[in-house]
Amino acid sequence: MPTKPHIAVAGATGAVGREMLEILAQRNFPHASIKALASPRSAGQKLPFAGEEITVEPLTHESLKGVDIALFSAGSSISREFCVKAAEHGCTTVDNSSAFRMTDGVPLTIPEVNPESLGEKPYTIRTRDGRGRIIANPNCSTIILLMALTPLRNAFGVERAIVSTYQAASGAGAKGMDELEAQTRDDLAGRPVRPGIENGGVFHEPYAFNLFSHNTAVDPTTGLNVEETKVILETRKIWNDPTLALSATCVRVPVRRAHAESVNVTLERPATTQQLRDALARFPGVQVLDDRASNMFPTPLKASGKDDVLVGRLRPDPSCHHLAALGKAVREPIDYDGPFRSFDLFICGDQLRKGAALNAVQIAELLA
């Protein structure tokens, strides 16, 4: 990899693509040149970058020649075609879609969690110089979850986890955010609100002042939707633990930006609440926000625009104490300061930043 690589951002006009450009500039990513690539209908648009403007070029096979690192956020079908073509040109692609996440040999990487995945034998397209490769960016919910659970796993081991996600409109891109805002204005004005999908929109349920099961297909056998399946399978791959006990329920909530997640985790070894706080506080990219006295905890608004994942509401799971009594009456008061194996916590992370664009740029930084 050159000291100053040639960079391309594919899907640059979308919500994540714009965020990628902003983060590359904010972090002063060293580069010899940078391209903004998008569909032909977006060609010619001007996008801000580092105090200047760059002109959007159409994404073609030719436009990827001479590029060292390409950050893709253009959808699975586009990635399947163009990431492979970029790799054939000797380019390393970091893909934000689900196209390659579960492909054997493709690293699925969160830099703070499993940077060693980039050092394993990469998924390499057969090229004359052998340099082309594909790296997958995990799902946003998976990234935010594992930023909180990995420090606990490192310190105490994780036996089982149950997660419920409260996912913002930003997960569906700019169209999802626009749909939420438009429906909210309609509802407040007394106009009827219908599911956006009926008018060429994104969501299958009215979004304003509502919440609903994630807008991905539901497996008729397992009852899991696609988002829930992603969280489970991607976590197992990232942690290299194919038998990990993990359950997920994914829900859309009328929040513009930043996802929230409620987690119940069972550790392999007992720990105190303070030991959990200490382990989380030491982990890069995590900020503990757990002020019981002031009732101040993570919220999507607090996480929006931030790089760190916020973690709070740390507390022992009292049901674990009662289960240990094997159904007998528990006469002794629970010692909440003592060690427990099961805990509850609440997480918030910016879906567009750490959940997508920032993670991709961090991967590029490791490569460069």
10 Å CB burial of residue 93 (0-12, 13-18, 19+) is buried
Is 6 considered catalytic here? no
Indicate which residue of 214, 259, 321, 348 is catalytic.
Answer: 259
Q: List, as own/partner pairs, every contact residues 300-304 make where C-beta atoms lie below 8 angstroms and the sequence separation is at least 24, other chains included.
A: 300/166, 300/168, 300/255, 300/257, 300/258, 300/259, 300/260, 300/348, 301/258, 302/348, 303/258, 303/348, 303/349, 303/350, 304/256, 304/257, 304/258, 304/350
The DSSP bridge partners found for residue 264 are 162, 344
Phi, psi of 347 (to 5 degrees): -125, 145
Secondary structure class of 174 (helix, strand, coil): helix
Cα-flanking dihedrals φ and ψ of residue 89, to 5°? -85, 0
In 3D space, the residue among 116, 363, 100 whose CA is nearest the CA of residue 239 turns out to be 116
Cα separation of the two ends of the chain:
6
Residue 109 identity: T
Beta strand residue intervals within the chain, DSSP E: 6-10, 33-38, 46-49, 52-58, 69-72, 92-95, 133-136, 158-167, 212-213, 245-252, 259-271, 286-288, 309-316, 340-349
**CA 316, CA 338: separation in Å to the nearest integer?**
9
Active site residue 321: no
Beta bridge partners of 52: 49
The one catalytic residue among 83, 91, 140, 250? 140
Decide: 180 and 256 in contact? Cβ < 8 Å.
yes
**Residues classed as catalytic:** 140, 259
